Amino acid sequence: MPNSDPAAPTGTVSRRPRIVAVLTCFNRKALTLACLDALAVTAGRAQVDLEAVVVDDASPDGTAAAVRERFPWVEVIEGSGALFWNRGMHLGFGRALQREADHYLWLNDDTHLVPEALPRLLAQHAALTRSLGAPAILVGATAERDTARVSYGGRVVASRLRPFNYRLVHDERQPVRCDAIEGNCVLISREVAARVGNLDPVFEHAMGDTDYGLRARSLGIPSYVAGGIVGHCSQNALRGTYFDATLPLARRWKLIRSRKGLPVRSWLHFCRRHGGLAWPLHFSWPYAKVLLTGLRGGLTGRSDGDRSAKLT
């Protein structure tokens, strides 16, 4: 709602910034409700008008009904159960883009924002816009609650030879430039959204956030990770995924081709779009790596890969 500003000249009316948050969720009602509670707190601290779109991908635990009952300012879209993260976010962001907003906020439902998250993000985004002369994408870094170790945020390329191998970058005091963005907490201005558009629904689960940041960069729109920590979110474990060399080869081969691994169609599209002339090598490498380490019998006895290898 428009809001009178005592500091504004007589006869003028200023309005509060409007933010539309976008989340997708599946079957973790308690986390989703806690996420929206924390979002409401930080929005109040930032003095913004807040709306949200939540895509519930057919959760059997009653998430959709609970969100509707508790948060009347949230629009709930019910999915088919086959959307997963990227296609759920594509659906939700598409709906959000139909609304007038100054900023859109991507948010994972397992991310618990601190009260100063939105004031910090908005202030740093405004300062970046002034210094750059144009808006940028601003990613909020999250940390493990127990250890305070940074868990998600912005990443930079770790090696020229492996352009899809990323490592986290972060500074406690000021924004730093990054190559890849993670969708746990991302502030996107109206201007950036108008130029870049929506997430690409070709991606079945992951990669859509990374693709979005790289598409923005190709349009001359940089990405930064905000200074400080905006919330808490635990890292997904590598054990039990295709990175885990202690699993039998047949299991790892199935996992890498699954939706939550590197499904062939999604990975092929990503590599063709962002891999340059060497894209066939980048496409083949993670599959070959699983086969090679599996044929060696997992002799290392440890998880294969680390958090610097987000995609490969």
- Look at residue 307 in the predicted model and tell me its pLDDT: 39
What is the band of 304 on the pLDDT scale with cuts at 50, 70, 90?
A: very low
Decide: 99 and 109 in contact? Cβ < 8 Å: no
Strands 223-225 vs 176-178: parallel, antiparallel or unpaired? antiparallel
Higher pLDDT, 270 or 306: 270
What is the band of 311 on the pLDDT scale with cuts at 50, 70, 90?
A: low
Q: Which of these, 63, 55, 61, 45, lies nearest to 21 by C-alpha position?
A: 55
- Look at residue 8 in the predicted model and tell me its pLDDT: 38
What is the band of 3 on the pLDDT scale with cuts at 50, 70, 90?
A: very low
Residues of the chain with CATH 3.90.550.60: 2-232
* Residues 205, 15: Cα–Cα separation, whole Å: 37
What is the band of 302 on the pLDDT scale with cuts at 50, 70, 90?
A: very low
Rounded to whole angstroms, what are the CA distances from 48 to 1, 126, 191, 215, 302? 9, 14, 18, 29, 47
Given CATH 1.10.600.10, say whether it is the number of domain 2-232.
Answer: no
Please tell me the pTM assigned to this model.
Answer: 0.91
Q: Which of 20-29, 167-176, 297-306 has the lowest mean pLDDT?
A: 297-306
